[in-house]
Chains A and B, each alone.
Chain A
Amino acid sequence: MTEPAASQRRPPAAAGRELILKAEGLVKHYPIKAGILRRTVGHVRAVDGVSFELYKGETLGIVGESGCGKSSLGRMLMRLEEPTAGKLTFDGVDMYSQKGGSMRRLRRDIQIVFQDPYTSLNPRKTVGDIVGEPFEIHPDAVPRAGRRKRVQELLDLVGLNPEHINRYPHQFSGGQRQRIGIARGVALNPKVIICDEPVSALDVSVQAQVVNLLEELQNELGLAYIFIAHDLSVVRHISDRVAVMYLGKIVEIGDDDQIYARPTHPYTQALLSAVPVPDPTLRSAREQIMLSGDVPSPANPPSGCRFHTRCWKAQEICSVEEPLLIMRPDGSSAHESACHFAEPREVV
């Protein structure tokens, strides 16, 4: 493994960044059906108005606890899920208005790597079939004669033995299967890859190998990642910018330092303070913010600020008026945070 200089990995500062993906007010409500007639009795507001921008070659981390809507968001970005409302622009093209052939062409540029390498690979197909399947759907990507060779190149690229092209998924370990999923993801030379918890099913020692692989591929192929995960340490490691989600909304978004060193939203602060740090000498030095209770149901989210039921700063205004995700000062600069009482606090 070559040592990529950290500076190479980082995209240049804001100026000259090229926008690749822009989400505006994405909403996904799933109907709750009940009774014999399966009448809709309510909605699960999985994603409820999410906007962000993704630039070429950068990694945007999306963190949040289970049920916050981060995976639904990922599926909407792939258009695996039709949105209830909102607009998604990919490279200047409105994605949700595309149909048939033009949508299929668009899909070449935006790919996904799934969480569970055990269920996301068809057990009856060989690795060659799995990694080569994108070429069946997009026959003009690689001429038929060159496909097998291309698949072997891809396997080599992700650190698998190209000679294992005829093996089946069960002959590989979890980490290797995730490499197969990644090879399939990069097969069509996409511009954006959505990684939905790509390492959370893996053991620690293998997790690092896959994280390193993703970073290497980003350098080599100039990919932009949407990195969805619940592990805040991994997200910090790989991301340039981070968005924190709570109950279907982004509550805070900023670059790595802004979120981890100067978080201004109480939820981000509580989340960060709950992550155990592998250093026993910090045991007493770290202040843990204990949140009481569980995340409320997204079918019936609290009024106003959705976090007010668990927030220690909550005032009357919090249950009435929803705070906007706008630039708020964080001490040394400003980043977007959705809290009426946003103020920086060091928790890590």
Chain B
Amino acid sequence: MAAQIEELGARRWAPVDGVLLEVEDLQVEFRTREGVAHAINGVSFELRQGETLAILGESGSGKSVTAQAVMGILDSPPGFVTGGAIRYCGRNILDLEPDERRRLRGPEISMVFQDALSALNPVFPVGWQIAEMFRMHRGMNKTDALAQALRLMERVQIPAARERVRAYPHQFSGGMRQRIMIAMAIALDPAVLIADEPTTALDVTVQAQIMRLLADLQAEHQMGLILITHDLGVVADVADRIAVMYAGRIVEQSEVFALYARPAHPYTEGLLESIPRLDQKGQELAAIGGLPPNLMRIPPGCSFNPRCSYAQDVCRYDPPPALREVAYHRLAACHFSELLLAHSPKLEVTQTAAEVEAAFERDADTAQEPGWTTAPVDEERT
């Protein structure tokens, strides 16, 4: 029945007011022998048609686990979704039967993985693997499916696709393998595409090709794209909105231009200051001290407090600050976001001497002691 409706051109799933995906207060934990790791602690975001949302974070921040939870491919056990909702086109897909959930993967929500070599099956030709999507989901016969696969390989700009449709994954270069992954992901014309570090393993010139390809495909199909990455450069190039993750929480969410101009969370600020820039020879990098927390022992209070240079007692002892609106269309989870926005380093350039002085006085009022002395980081000193 579902297949028939699809053939008639009507999608079974239609976005509600342009919103494709809505994640609300998602909680994921990993139950391991060493203890319970709280990988995701209340993540909420939404994705609209044609929008690119970048989820930015370091390793262990929970960005990939978020993607896996949305896709429904979380390794379980040890991973468990313990709370929250993931609504696709208004319906909570966590409540769906496994079989229904599986039918979503591919035609509705699809994913491109980081390591194409291990994501592709080494013993089948790539054309056959792409064609599998059509055989499984659309019930096509082998010949038709292979013809579709060829058409897709041409669309992702694989040179000499006709000759290479029978080649095996190891016969392709890294960039070409990533194109094949993308071909598989877009085969069934999904509404949401999740790209998990799609270019991390690739060289910069190839990265540029792949990012352009993704952008073109997205524009063509009005896909919602979730781009998971740790690369602030890639994000600046393609994203509409950014969610910055730290220790399983979104600490800041904003439209991309505003975030780069003036970060509202100390972690975002630290990240932006710690990367060297290609277009200028900088001074010493302002590194964030310490390490990301162990997810089995997330510090009480704000999880960033041991590494934060603005940290106060309220950050250490009060419950973690909630993600709240700190400026127009900007969310941040920090007690001092307004202060940060009011005199971020970038703004100081245009401030008058009197304003700078006032800002220093404000600083002196709130900061009785430097964050470092009272919150020593156990292992690494800077």
Using a CB–CB cutoff of 8 Å, the interface residues on chain A facing chain B are 1, 3-4, 6, 65-66, 159-161, 164, 172-173, 175-176, 203-209, 211-212, 215, 230, 232-234, 236-238, 256-257, 260, 270-283, 288, 290-291, 293-295, 348
Contacts and interface: CB of A to CB of B under 8 A. Distances in A.
Interface string B224-264: 00000011111111010000000000000000110011000
B41 interface: no
A28 to B, nearest CB: 21
Contacts of A270: 205
Interface in B287-319: 287-289, 291-292
Contact of B278 (A164, A176, A236): A236
Contacts of A207: 274-275
A275 B281 contact: no
Contact of A275 (B174, B204, B289, B379): B204
A294 B212 contact: no
A291 B292 CA distance: 37
B233 A204 contact: no
25 contacts: A1-B284, A3-B284, A66-B203, A159-B382, A160-B381, A164-B379, A173-B380, A204-B232, A204-B274, A206-B291, A207-B275, A208-B286, A208-B287, A211-B276, A215-B284, A230-B204, A256-B281, A260-B278, A276-B208, A277-B237, A277-B279, A278-B236, A281-B257, A282-B236, A294-B206
Question: Which of B232, B256, B271, B281 has the largest number of chain A CB atoms within 10 A?
Answer: B281
Contact of A276 (B173, B237, B257): B237
Contact of B236 (A175, A212, A276, A288): A276
A159 B275 CA distance: 20
A176 B379 contact: yes
A310 to B, nearest CB: 9
Given A160-B380, A278-B233, A290 B204 contact: no
Contacts of B239: 280
Question: Which of B59, B173, B204 has the largest number of chain A CB atoms within 10 A?
Answer: B204
B277 interface: yes
Question: Which of B209, B256, B271, B287 has the largest number of chain A CB atoms within 10 A?
Answer: B287
Contact of B58 (A160, A204, A260): A204
B139 to A, nearest CB: 36
B283 interface: yes
B287 A205 contact: yes
Nearest to B283: A6
Given A208-B274, A212-B285, A233-B275, 10 more contacts: A160-B380, A160-B381, A203-B292, A204-B271, A207-B274, A208-B276, A257-B281, A271-B205, A278-B277, A295-B203
Contacts of A205: 58, 270-271, 274, 287-288, 292
Nearest to A167: B379
A236 B281 contact: yes
Question: Which of A160, A230, A275, A283 has the largest number of chain B CB atoms within 10 A?
Answer: A275
A127 B101 CA distance: 49
Closest 4 CB pairs of A and B: A276-B233, A237-B276, A208-B287, A208-B274
B170 to A, nearest CB: 14
Question: Which of B237, B271, B279, B292 has the largest number of chain A CB atoms within 10 A?
Answer: B279
B175 interface: yes
Contacts of B231: 276
B104 interface: no
Contacts of B148: none
Contacts of B117: none
Given A203-B230, A237-B282, A294-B173, A277 B206 contact: no
Contact of B257 (A3, A161, A172, A280): A280
B38 to A, nearest CB: 19
Contact of B276 (A206, A234, A283, A288): A234
Contact of A271 (B204, B284, B285): B204
A226 to B, nearest CB: 18
A176 B380 contact: yes
Given A1-B382, A172-B379, A274 B236 contact: no
Nearest to B175: A294
Nearest to A206: B291
A143 to B, nearest CB: 29
A280 B236 contact: yes
Contacts of A281: 257, 260-261
Interface string B29-47: 0000000000000000000
A42 B116 CA distance: 29
A277 B236 contact: yes
A195 B207 CA distance: 24
Contacts of B279: 260, 277, 282, 348
Contacts of A3: 283-284
B272 interface: yes
Given A212-B284, A276-B234, A232 B292 contact: no
Contacts of B174: 66
Contacts of A65: 203-206
B203 A277 contact: no
Contacts of B286: 208
A274 to B, nearest CB: 4
B205 A274 contact: yes
A101 B67 CA distance: 56
B184 interface: no
B176 interface: yes
Nearest to B234: A276
B382 A290 contact: no
Contacts of A234: 276
